[in-house]
């Protein structure tokens, strides 16, 4: 790993060459490198958190001046309970996963002595561009090394101190391993982004981690495939058959456990017949957590009516009239748009028109309705009676994640190791030529026998 002063083009070319070496390393050599990274970070905990605290201090000032969003500050904080531990555990989880390189996923006997094989291999060179979230450096380095991909990392200026501290530790750790120095390149200058995005010959995949604006900028400005998501506009559809406590628990978790996260809920669709039955309990639970509701007329009336007849006082209820724009907004804060719909078809239609193909949930006691919802919503995640916040590589058991994709090709949802692999076809023959095969008379037929893996 090198903190490079090389030009982006030179860095990318060096990464490409290194990727050819990295791709040939044994699983053991790659795992040893991950152990070294983990040990190095564990030993350097205090200095890294101190560096992160300096980043946070500057960010909080910028936020106070209105120059930075509160959600970005929140993402920057490596000292948040559990975050450091999750980061370190992620590295070992990745190390202990099955080796993704060289797996044979298809074997076919084309003819006597002519065998086709499909084998997984690394994609090549990844470009990771991130803003805050300093833990991404360690995650990505681990995933890149494990998957045999070279990576170019470009961090945001808000996390510079954390970035340099973590990368110095990783660099020292890797220098004692077989992973080539150029396999993980760090780029610190902001001006380099447009140049990197133009290097479609040497860079195979861009993975942006950051604001919707960052992702959109990258998608607009490169021909390299981009894996990720701009928006995370998740919805929950609350039906009349849902258990009120279950519904309140799930919606509160989905909205409040980490409002800045892309998998937090932004729109609550309420079945009309649930307005006076299940919904009031959900609204009360949200209000108790200081969530502001942006309601359409029927749902606002239901909240108001429930409040008027409620014996317990509900603190801090803020109910606003929703505008159309609220149903297309990723608030990333304690704000939730609420819309009334007649049935599951209307909920599906709303989600397919307004959603971001990220994660959608239905709360219902009706299995058939749930299955229909999960099949019909056009999203990477479709949940029944569970919080949208489960959309996460660690929670899915992928060890860690490189990001969450709302793409329709390659990888969708939380992307772990598998999303960083591609494959090649190998054929082993004995001088076989193609011209003798065909459907016509005197032509030879292929056998196409599926062989055991």
Instruction: State which of positions 62-91 bind a copy of itself (CB under 8 A).
Output: 81-82, 85-86, 89
**Span near a copy of itself by CB under 8 A; candidates 31-39, 182-190, 215-223, 280-288:** 215-223
110: left (phi over 0), alpha (psi -120 to 50) or beta: alpha
In whole angstroms, the minimum distance from the beta carbon of 10 to a copy of itself comes to 16
Segment 8 to 47, residues that bind a copy of itself, using CB under 8 A: 20, 24
**157 binds a copy of itself per the rule CB under 8 A:** no
Segment 364 to 403, residues that bind a copy of itself, using CB under 8 A: 370, 374-376, 378-387, 389-392, 395-397
In whole angstroms, the minimum distance from the beta carbon of 249 to a copy of itself comes to 5
**353 binds a copy of itself per the rule CB under 8 A:** no
Which residue is associated with the tokens 């106070």? Answer: 64
Which C-beta is closer to a copy of itself: that of 312 or that of 430? 430
Among 69, 108, 276, 277, binds a copy of itself (CB under 8 A): 108
Segment 270 to 329, residues that bind a copy of itself, using CB under 8 A: none
**424 binds a copy of itself per the rule CB under 8 A:** yes
Which C-beta is closer to a copy of itself: that of 3 or that of 198? 198
Distance, CA of 95 to CA of 33 (rounded, Å): 9
Among 54, 190, 443, 444, binds a copy of itself (CB under 8 A): 443
Binding mask 239-258 for a copy of itself (x = CB under 8 A): ----x-xxx-xx-xxx--x-
Among 227, 278, 317, 332, binds a copy of itself (CB under 8 A): 227
Which C-beta is closer to a copy of itself: that of 136 or that of 203? 203
Beta strand pairing status for 114-122 and 104-111? antiparallel
Please, are residues 274 and 345 in contact by the beta-carbon 8 Å criterion?
no
Distance, C-alpha 399 to centroid of its chain: 13
Which C-beta is closer to a copy of itself: that of 97 or that of 187? 97
Among 46, 191, 368, 439, binds a copy of itself (CB under 8 A): 439
In whole angstroms, the minimum distance from the beta carbon of 183 to a copy of itself comes to 16
Residue 49 tokens, joined: 């958190």
Residue 83 tokens, joined: 């975050």
Burial class (CB in 10 A: 0-12, 13-18, 19+), 297: exposed
In whole angstroms, the minimum distance from the beta carbon of 381 to a copy of itself comes to 5
Instruction: Kindly state the number of chain residues that form the binding site for a copy of itself, as judged by CB under 8 A.
Output: 81
Length of the chain: 453
**225 binds a copy of itself per the rule CB under 8 A:** yes
- From residue 154, give the alpha-carbon distance in Å to each of 134, 212, 233, 302, 420: 11, 17, 26, 49, 18
In whole angstroms, the minimum distance from the beta carbon of 236 to a copy of itself comes to 12
In whole angstroms, the minimum distance from the beta carbon of 131 to a copy of itself comes to 22
Which C-beta is closer to a copy of itself: that of 66 or that of 440? 440
- CA-closest candidate to residue 140, choices 1, 264, 332, 42: 1
Among 13, 60, 219, 289, binds a copy of itself (CB under 8 A): 219
Which C-beta is closer to a copy of itself: that of 40 or that of 416? 416
Distance, CA of 206 to CA of 219 (rounded, Å): 9
**114 binds a copy of itself per the rule CB under 8 A:** yes
Using the CB atoms, write b or e for 303-323: b if 16+ within 10 Å: beebbeeeeeebeebebeebe
Distance, CA of 13 to CA of 223 (rounded, Å): 17
Q: 55 in helix, strand or coil?
A: helix
DSSP symbol at 389? G
Beta strand pairing status for 104-111 and 449-450? antiparallel
In whole angstroms, the minimum distance from the beta carbon of 123 to a copy of itself comes to 5
Q: 204 in helix, strand or coil?
A: coil
Which C-beta is closer to a copy of itself: that of 194 or that of 397? 397
In whole angstroms, the minimum distance from the beta carbon of 140 to a copy of itself comes to 17
How many other C-beta atoms can be found within 10 angstroms of the C-beta atom of residue 428? 10
In whole angstroms, the minimum distance from the beta carbon of 85 to a copy of itself comes to 5
Segment 117 to 156, residues that bind a copy of itself, using CB under 8 A: 123-124
Which C-beta is closer to a copy of itself: that of 116 or that of 187? 116
Please, are residues 235 and 351 in contact by the beta-carbon 8 Å criterion?
yes
Which C-beta is closer to a copy of itself: that of 45 or that of 425? 425
Burial class (CB in 10 A: 0-12, 13-18, 19+), 325: exposed
Distance, CA of 100 to CA of 92 (rounded, Å): 15
Distance, CA of 130 to CA of 136 (rounded, Å): 8
Please, are residues 236 and 362 in contact by the beta-carbon 8 Å criterion?
yes
In whole angstroms, the minimum distance from the beta carbon of 340 to a copy of itself comes to 23
């Amino acid at each position: 790993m090198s903190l490079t002063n090389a030009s982006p083009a030179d860095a990318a070319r060096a990464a490409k060459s290194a990727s050819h070496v990295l791709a040939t390393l044994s699983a053991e050599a790659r795992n040893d490198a991950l152990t070294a990274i983990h040990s190095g970070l564990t030993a350097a905990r205090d200095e890294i958190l101190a560096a992160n605290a300096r980043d946070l201090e500057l960010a909080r000032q910028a936020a106070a001046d209105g120059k930075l969003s509160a959600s970005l500050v929140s993402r920057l904080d490596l000292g948040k309970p559990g975050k450091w531990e999750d980061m370190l555990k992620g590295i070992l989880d990745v190390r202990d996963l099955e080796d993704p390189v060289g797996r044979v996923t298809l074997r076919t006997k084309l003819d006597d002595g002519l065998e086709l094989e499909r084998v997984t291999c690394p994609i090549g060179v990844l470009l990771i561009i991130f803003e805050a979230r300093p833990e991404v450096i360690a995650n990505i380095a681990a995933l890149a090394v494990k998957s045999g991909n070279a990576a170019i990392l470009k961090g945001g200026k808000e996390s510079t101190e954390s970035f340099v501290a973590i990368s110095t530790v990783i660099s020292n750790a890797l220098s004692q391993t077989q992973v080539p120095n150029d396999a993980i390149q760090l780029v610190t200058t902001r001006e380099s982004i447009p140049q990197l995005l133009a290097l479609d010959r040497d860079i195979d995949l861009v993975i942006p981690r950051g604001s919707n604006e960052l992702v959109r900028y990258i998608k607009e400005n490169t021909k390299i495939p981009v894996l990720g998501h701009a928006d995370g506009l998740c919805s929950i559809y609350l039906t009349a058959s849902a258990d009120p406590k279950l519904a309140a628990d799930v919606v509160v978790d989905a909205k409040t456990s980490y409002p800045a996260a892309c998998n937090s809920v932004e729109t609550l669709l309420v079945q009309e017949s649930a307005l006076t039955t299940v919904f009031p309990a959900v609204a009360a639970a949200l209000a108790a957590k200081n969530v502001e509701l942006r309601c359409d007329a029927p749902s606002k009336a239901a909240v108001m009516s429930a409040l008027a007849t409620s014996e317990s006082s509900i603190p801090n209820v803020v109910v606003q009239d929703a505008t159309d724009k609220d149903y297309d907004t990723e608030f990333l804060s304690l704000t939730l748009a609420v819309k009334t719909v007649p049935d599951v078809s209307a909920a599906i239609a709303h989600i397919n028109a307004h959603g971001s193909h990220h994660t959608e949930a239905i709360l219902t006691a009706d299995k058939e309705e749930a299955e229909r919802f999960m099949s019909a919503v056009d999203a990477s995640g479709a949940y029944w009676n569970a919080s949208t916040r489960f959309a996460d590589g660690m929670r899915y058991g992928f060890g860690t994640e490189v990001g969450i994709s709302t793409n329709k090709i390659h990888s969708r949802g939380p992307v772990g190791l598998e999303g960083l692999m591609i494959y090649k076809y190998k054929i082993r023959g004995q001088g076989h030529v193609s011209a003798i095969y065909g459907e016509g008379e005197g032509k030879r037929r292929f056998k196409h026998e599926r062989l055991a893996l």
